[in-house]
């Protein structure tokens, strides 16, 4: 699920899966979209049953390999639907600004990617077509899909603003060769923060006052710190999503622990300043075998498949019996004003079908959303052990939703990102940080 080097799950995280902060100009475009879309309604489409060719446009982000997958999906779909053609629109660089500009201008693609955090925002603005009537007509079995990725798109409210196409739990990846060299036992599926710290310290090497190897290459995006919070039984928002809950003792403990990994006793992970001085990113450290562990979603397996070392994966370490794993995902959506709603639905339905899921998951960038395809293991990288099927699946079955909110852009991507950046740079206390976020963020969370 961008990119997330690229970080794929939010164009995420563009390309693949580096999460991008939503700029104020983009927020303006969303508001403009709301005005325009309210005046637009779907026009009757020239369906495939008419015998005439219908072209639909499909916009997506991704690395070249993801583009290749879209070509395969397009070709197979067109074989099955000879009267529908799919025009691929691969948006490189910043994904959302050009997409939202097209939506606001009434020229939106008929199908497009949306990262999980954007679904509620666009649905709230009246931009998206409700897919539920089509899903019901075609008797889509929602029980065949992972439950926690369906709730945020509206299925519990008898709506479906987008259909998740791939997903991933947030995991920990480790270099088996570095563990073996240091004589450190591999982590287990139920490992704790304490066990993680012990291993990370044993795998951190300092020579002549300079670190030559880190135990951990830490991601500081919201996917990472929110996972740490969930693995400690904490919360981000209140149950009704009307206020921040970062002052929850378990949440504050998780944030402190997450920061301490960079600073306590010299740190087991580079700080933001440390990374800047090295001139590399977390993924580079792991790929060059200068870091023994790295966290992230399934997309990490794509970026490390060529690392000349054996690697393994386990859940992110926990510190609570209430530990849960959030699921990250990318969705397919259609604009409310599309001229080809039936054809757009047919393409979305194909990508989320068994055949489409097998094609889509072949890159290793994300997990299938269809349980049967996940359990088949056809998505594994070449040479990847089959035991990984259960490791990933167990986390997906024990997942807990992140508190997605229509004001996510202003509250999480802007406000929380700004204040937590100060905190993670060791320039603010956790108490001051969570207080500041609540004071500024709570009013935003209650805006209609």
Name the domain boundary from 397, 421, 438: 397
Q: Are 226 and 236 in contact (CB under 8 A)?
A: yes
Q: Is 75 contained in some domain?
A: yes
Looking at the structure, do residues 160 and 19 belong to the same domain, yes or no?
Answer: yes
Name the domain boundary from 308, 324, 340: 324
CA distance 252 to 242: 19
Looking at the structure, do residues 204 and 113 belong to the same domain, yes or no?
Answer: no
CA distance 37 to 46: 21
Q: Is 421 contained in some domain?
A: no
Q: Is 220 contained in some domain?
A: yes
- Provide the β-strand partners of residue 192: 318
Q: Is 412 contained in some domain?
A: no
Q: Is 285 contained in some domain?
A: yes
Q: Is 420 contained in some domain?
A: no
Q: Are 420 and 413 in contact (CB under 8 A)?
A: no
Looking at the structure, do residues 38 and 56 belong to the same domain, yes or no?
Answer: yes
Q: What is the CATH number of the domain that holds 193?
A: 3.40.190.10
Q: Which residue has the tokens 């609540």?
A: 438
pLDDT at 51: 65
CA distance 444 to 377: 42
Q: Which residue has the tokens 């604009």?
A: 335
Q: Is 181 contained in some domain?
A: yes
pLDDT at 302: 85
**Residue 320 belongs to what domain range?**
171-324
Looking at the structure, do residues 142 and 97 belong to the same domain, yes or no?
Answer: yes
Number of domains in the chain: 2
Q: Pairing state of beta strands 111-115 and 205-207?
A: unpaired
Distance, CA of 60 to chain centre: 14
C-alpha triplet 441, 443, 444: angle, nearest 5°: 65
Residues 6+ apart with CB under 8 A from 224: 170, 218, 258, 295, 296
Q: Is 410 contained in some domain?
A: no
Q: Are 283 and 191 in contact (CB under 8 A)?
A: no
Looking at the structure, do residues 247 and 353 belong to the same domain, yes or no?
Answer: no
Residues 6+ apart with CB under 8 A from 399: 146, 148, 169, 324, 325, 326, 327
Looking at the structure, do residues 44 and 133 belong to the same domain, yes or no?
Answer: yes
pLDDT at 280: 86
- Closest by CA position to 329, among listed 173, 147, 157, 159: 147
Distance, CA of 237 to chain centre: 19
Name the domain boundary from 324, 354, 379: 324
**CA distance readout (Å), 246 to 19, 121, 223, 235:** 21, 22, 15, 7
pLDDT tens sequence for the chain (448 residues): 433 333 333 333 333 333 343 443 344 444 444 434 443 444 434 444 456 899 999 999 988 888 999 999 999 999 999 999 999 999 998 999 999 999 999 999 999 999 999 999 999 999 999 999 999 999 999 999 999 999 999 999 999 999 999 999 999 999 999 999 999 999 999 999 999 999 999 999 999 989 999 999 999 999 999 999 999 999 999 999 999 999 999 999 999 999 999 999 999 999 999 888 888 889 999 999 999 999 999 999 888 877 889 999 999 999 999 999 999 999 999 999 999 999 999 999 999 999 999 999 888 788 999 999 999 998 998 888 999 999 999 999 989 999 999 999 999 999 999 999 999 999 999 999 999 999 999 999 998 6
């Amino acid at each position: 699920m961008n990119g997330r080097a690229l970080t794929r799950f939010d164009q995420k995280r563009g390309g693949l899966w580096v999460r991008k902060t939503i700029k104020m100009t983009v927020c303006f475009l969303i508001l403009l979209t709301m005005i325009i879309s309210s005046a637009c309604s779907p026009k009757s489409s020239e369906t495939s049953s008419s015998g005439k060719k219908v072209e639909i446009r499909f916009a997506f982000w991704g690395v070249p390999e993801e583009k290749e997958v879209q070509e395969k999906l397009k070709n197979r779909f067109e074989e099955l639907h000879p009267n529908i053609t799919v025009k691929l629109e691969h948006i490189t660089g910043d994904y959302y600004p050009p997409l939202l500009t097209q939506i606001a201008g009434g020229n939106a693609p008929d199908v497009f990617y949306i990262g999980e955090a954007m679904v509620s925002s666009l649905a709230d603005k009246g931009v998206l077509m409700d897919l539920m009537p089509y899903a019901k007509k075609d008797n889509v079995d929602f029980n065949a899909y992972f439950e926690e990725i369906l709730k945020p798109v509206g299925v519990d409210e008898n709506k479906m603003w987008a259909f998740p196409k791939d997903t991933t739990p947030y995991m920990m990846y480790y270099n088996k060769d570095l563990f073996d060299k240091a004589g450190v036992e591999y982590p287990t599926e139920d490992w704790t923060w304490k066990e993680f710290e012990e291993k990370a310290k044993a795998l951190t090497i300092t020579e002549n006052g300079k670190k030559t190897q880190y135990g951990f290459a830490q991601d500081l995006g919201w996917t990472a710190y929110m996972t740490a919070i969930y693995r400690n039984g904490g919360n981000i928002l209140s149950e009704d999503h009307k206020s921040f809950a970062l002052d929850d003792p378990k949440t504050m403990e998780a944030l402190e622990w997450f920061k301490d990994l960079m600073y306590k006793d010299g740190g087991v992970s580079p700080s933001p300043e440390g990374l800047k001085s090295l001139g590399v990113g977390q993924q580079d450290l792991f790929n060059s075998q200068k870091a023994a562990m790295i966290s992230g979603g399934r997309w990490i397996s794509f970026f490390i498949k060529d690392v000349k070392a054996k690697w393994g994966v386990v859940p992110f370490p926990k510190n609570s019996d209430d530990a849960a794993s959030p699921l990250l995902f990318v969705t397919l959506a259609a604009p409310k004003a599309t001229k080809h709603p039936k054809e757009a639905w047919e393409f979305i339905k194909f990508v989320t079908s068994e055949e489409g899921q097998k094609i889509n998951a072949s890159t290793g960038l994300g997990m299938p959303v269809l349980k049967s395809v996940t359990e088949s293991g056809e998505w594994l990288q070449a040479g990847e052990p089959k035991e990984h099927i259960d490791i990933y699946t167990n986390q997906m079955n024990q997942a807990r939703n992140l508190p997605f909110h229509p004001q996510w852009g202003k509250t999480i991507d802007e406000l929380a990102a700004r204040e937590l950046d100060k905190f993670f740079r060791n320039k603010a206390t956790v108490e001051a940080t969570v207080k500041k976020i609540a004071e500024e963020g709570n009013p935003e969370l209650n805006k209609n």
